Chain A
């Protein structure tokens, strides 16, 4: 299943940042399929506020890398209509917090159209958006909303934690005939990793990756916390042998890989930046309890953002954002 799929490709890799990996994915898919085009605020000439689209505008022109007015409901709706009528829009929603303004189009149109039309509509739309705190951007630009999207039937939600996952999932999302939200944590755009260069490399939506094998405890992490958990695991090596899994896809979720790991280690820590209550953590915990309850040797631990908004001031922001130390403390509590 997981790592094998990528290994089977036996592809060359190149070291690049998450940002470059996503841009490469976009470039390859624009090249591969004429029906694919990008749209969003300032993604063209300007290259995107977080510089992900970069020079794609020069390469592909304004028809295929199109700037939109600042009207999220308008362009999210337009993407929905476009996807239903034969093209494959890839939307950049500058900050995921702005989903608020476009929620009607997301929840009642994009998510429900295929279902309500008796399966007679395609919805090949990709929404790329940024999440997370850490930039001092305050509550309206630091949210982590993937739980929200994962909760809506009809939408898929992926959360890459590595450069390879970022590229592979972006490509898989664009090729998917379903609406897929790709949640890019803005603090890992500069994080580097080995990325397969084969143009056919994709990461199937719904497959987690075991990024580090271990025997004593399983950390299921997402986004920024994947890297931080790996570092933590290394720092604990010798005392605790930690397995780290990048969940990668939240809906659909690769329950099997997670459960298999918990059966081996008997301990689970879920590390995800979203708020703790009623969220992604709870879902993973619930599934593991359903399938591996008797394999658990200790209470499951959650690491996430407390139920507050992300404040502006650096000491306040640091207080609420989960990091590798929180993961370490959680591991230590149960081992």
Chain B
């Protein structure tokens, strides 16, 4: 079972590859953001790779995930292509959202990825909804809602968990406790010792696992998945982890010290997994270095692709508002509106459907 079976050497190699891809992608994204090539806000996942990869390893291809503002890792773990992800970060037409979403909103519903999200705590309700569809249509899937430790304070998160629990929906809620909500430490935001304690209020299992250990995460999610598929409802899994970078790129991090960061880095999810594979004789140090170099080259190629990709055409700003575009979208800014005058030139009449379904790069899936 599973998209990546961590019981097999191939599965473990794939998990390592995905964790490395996330790290390389995000390091590069950080650099490119610092260079001013990527606009907006960028929140990196470095340090937390084992949570996304461990979770998705225990999922089937057609299971759903709903992500957070720190979504790059979830996308890669779910199998999205770094090339189109990077293009989205660059705001290019070839990006997953045609340049409309950017870092915080990368989505690929066909791949079961219901979007990174700019609203803290918005993922769990979406996951509950996906689980409802699955249950309603009797499909053999589950839905995972990721959330941060900070998001546990959001009311809508608890409403989502309560609904899923009450209706025994096939949902899993994964709290990525990376110790901070922006600049505020977790113990200043919550009164419980373990965030998984909140599961008690909904009478569902809640457990806390080592989020620096990809196998531990995958095991917990595997059990949660089996439970969900068995009709026994949701599970809340708290993964204890750490983000190495600031909350967003450019964050000066006055709220923590290097010593704390180093303490967590000693348990780095990638290095510890690599060492384990080497101990098992499944990997040599040279092979690891080769893999790392190969992935870095892949990410560099993704950057080149993104740099060279087309900018969206300004008129695309008016696409995708509705399934049935109304006769006109109001955009008076450049349209002369004189008494009885005509609105022509720049006023938009209902746009003709594009042959590719409105998606440049629509062939990428």
Contact = CB atoms under 8 A, between A and B. Distances in A.
A86 B8 CA distance: 64
Contacts of A70: 120-121, 150-151, 153-154, 181-182, 189
Nearest to B333: A326
A67 B100 contact: no
A101 B254 contact: no
Contacts of B330: 275-277, 306-307
B155 to A, nearest CB: 5
B280 interface: no
Contacts of B338: 298-299, 333
A46 B255 CA distance: 7
A42 B314 contact: no
Contact of B337 (A299, A307, A313): A299
A311 B105 CA distance: 11
B312 A276 contact: no
Contacts of A136: 39-40, 91, 102
A98 interface: yes
B119 interface: yes
B317 A319 contact: yes
Nearest to B151: A70
B205 to A, nearest CB: 24
A69 B317 contact: no
A240 to B, nearest CB: 16
A71 interface: yes
Interface stretch (A138-146, A147-155, A174-182, A250-258): A138-146
Given A307-B331, A316-B312, A45 B254 contact: yes
A61 interface: no
Contact of B182 (A49, A313, A330): A49
A101 B155 CA distance: 9
B183 A46 contact: yes
Interface string A320-334: 101000100110010
Interface string A82-102: 000000000000000110110
Contacts of B313: 315
A101 B122 CA distance: 9
B100 A311 contact: yes
A101 B154 contact: yes
Given A69-B150, A140-B118, A306 B333 contact: yes
B54 interface: no
Interface string B299-335: 0000000000001111111100100000001111110
A141 B103 CA distance: 12
A197 B339 CA distance: 47
Contact of A313 (B92, B118, B150, B184): B92
Nearest to B252: A46
Interface string A51-71: 000000000000000010111
Interface residues of B, number: 53
Given A45-B255, A301-B332, A313 B181 contact: no
Given A49-B182, A70-B120, A306 B92 contact: no
A41 B329 CA distance: 36
B332 A276 contact: yes
Contacts of A329: 333-334
Contacts of B156: 73, 101
B153 A312 contact: no
A139 B101 CA distance: 8
B190 interface: yes
A67 B184 CA distance: 8
A302 interface: yes
B150 A308 contact: no
B99 interface: yes
Nearest to A323: B333
Given A42-B183, A69-B181, A312 B101 contact: yes
A74 B158 CA distance: 13
Contacts of B255: 45-46
B123 to A, nearest CB: 13
Contacts of B189: 69-70
Contacts of B285: none
Interface string B170-190: 000000000001111000111
A237 interface: no
Given A138-B102, A277-B330, A312-B102, A67 B314 contact: no
A332 to B, nearest CB: 10
A41 B182 contact: yes
Q: Which of A313, A316, A329 has the most CB of B within 10 A?
A: A313
A308 B182 contact: no
A314 B39 CA distance: 8
A333 B92 CA distance: 34
Nearest to A47: B254
A101 B121 contact: yes
B254 A69 contact: no
Nearest to B41: A137
Contact of B332 (A100, A139, A302, A309): A302
The 8 closest A-B pairs by CB, nearest first: A136-B39, A313-B91, A140-B118, A313-B99, A306-B331, A312-B102, A69-B153, A46-B183
